[in-house]
Amino acid sequence: MKKKRLNLVMAAALAVSVLAGCGSSKYEDTAATAAADAPAAVDMAAGGEYLYDAGYGENSYAQEAEIAEEDAAYEEGGTETKAEEVSENPQAGRKLITTMTLSAETEYFDDLMGNLERQVEELGGYIENSNQWNGSVDYYGNRRSNRSASLTIRIPAEKLDGFVALMEESSNITNKSREVEDVTLAYVDLESHKKALVTEEERLLELLEMAETVEDLISIEDKLANVRYQLESMESQLRTYDNKINYSTVHLDIQEVERLTPPEDITTWGRIKNGFSENLYGLGVDIENIFIGLIINIPYILAWLVVLGVVLLIVVCLLRREKKKKAERLAKRQQMAGDTSAVQRGGQTEPLRGGMPQEAQRLPEDVQQTEEEQ
């Protein structure tokens, strides 16, 4: 009879554990684990007559079972009450995870990055991840690809709008999106399941204090270790939810530009103005590049000027030398022509024509050609 009563009492305690483990419909694995451990608990009750002999009477077990059932009912009722409160007042105690994506461009990259770190710190947030690219430049020092940065920032949820306003003031926002995830029901389920596991842990600790045999200790400690493992998992998930709820996530992409992107709603006059400004800007850039190119290439220009000067000097020297030779040949031929005329005048060959001998009037053909060249 005594053994039968002990079996009934332990079965009631097991039922309490099963009810406590069913606090959430999403975590039925706890109830399944408790049911799987039922044979071990019954065996422990069968071999554990010390519970009755120690004076822990039938009335005490009945009272404990009744209290445990009331606690389990309270947990279930609490879950239903929370669900009703959420449905009646959608904004009361909502657990919202907010994620924002911002794309910004700036003409002053260094200043923006420095101010960004300071503003995030002043708002109580932190930069979770940051990547920066320095870009590249061409031969003239112009940037082929501008600098850029990609950051993941965590901002307190209540200060998210203030951070977005600061970014809109200090940069040109080209893209902005907001995503809100409601995790209220999942959060409430986790809390309820955690409380149920705490209740089950307390009951197992009470049984552990009354255990006397090694088999009973091992069985209860195994069950207790399983419950504590689930508790740690629940607490870890709750901490993760709390961090995501309390700190909104901002994915920020920053691009350095030479000119900011104009707004989309531009009038006809605005388009004309922007086009004219773009052409003036392009002309200024071209003139600047030409000037920079001249300055940069001064060593090459000087080197080519020296080479051209040497070549020109050589050509001038050659021309002068050739001209001098021609003059010498002409003088020599004239001298030879003068000697020939003198000899002919001595022989009186022909009468004078215009006061000069006919032979003197006829110069050699090579001398005439030389005079024509001169």
What is the C-alpha to C-alpha distance for residues 328 and 351, in angstroms, rounded to an integer?
A: 32
Phi, then psi, of 247 in degrees rounded to 5: -120, 115
What is the C-alpha to C-alpha distance for residues 293 and 280, in angstroms, rounded to an integer?
A: 20
- In this structure, which amino acid lies at residue 333? R
The reported pLDDT for the residue numbered 247 is: 96
The reported pLDDT for the residue numbered 236 is: 95
pLDDT by residue for the chain (374 residues), tens digit each? 434 444 544 554 555 454 444 444 444 443 334 334 433 333 433 333 333 333 333 333 444 444 444 454 444 444 444 445 444 445 557 899 999 999 999 999 999 999 999 999 999 999 999 999 987 766 666 666 688 999 999 999 999 999 999 999 999 999 999 999 999 999 999 999 999 999 999 999 999 888 888 898 899 999 999 999 999 999 999 999 999 999 999 999 999 988 887 766 667 777 777 777 778 777 877 788 788 878 888 888 889 999 999 999 999 999 988 888 888 888 888 888 777 776 666 654 444 444 444 444 444 555 455 555 54
Cα–Cα nearest to 171, from 105, 109, 115: 105
The reported pLDDT for the residue numbered 297 is: 84
The DSSP string of 170-215 is HSEEEEEEEEEEE-HHHHHHHHHHHHHHHHHHHHHHHHHHH--SHH
Burial of 33 (0-12, 13-18, 19+ CB in 10 A): middle
The reported pLDDT for the residue numbered 45 is: 38
The reported pLDDT for the residue numbered 191 is: 94
Q: Hey, is 50 helix, strand or coil?
A: helix
Q: How far is CA 254 from CA 105, 138, 166, 350, in A?
A: 6, 22, 14, 108
Cα–Cα nearest to 29, from 208, 183, 233: 233
Strand ranges, E, within 183-301: 247-256
What is the C-alpha to C-alpha distance for residues 48 and 215, in angstroms, rounded to an integer?
A: 10
Structure-token pair, residue 130: 């940051």
The reported pLDDT for the residue numbered 91 is: 54
pTM confidence score: 0.52
Structure-token pair, residue 17: 């554990």
The reported pLDDT for the residue numbered 331 is: 84
What is the C-alpha to C-alpha distance for residues 313 and 230, in angstroms, rounded to an integer?
A: 97
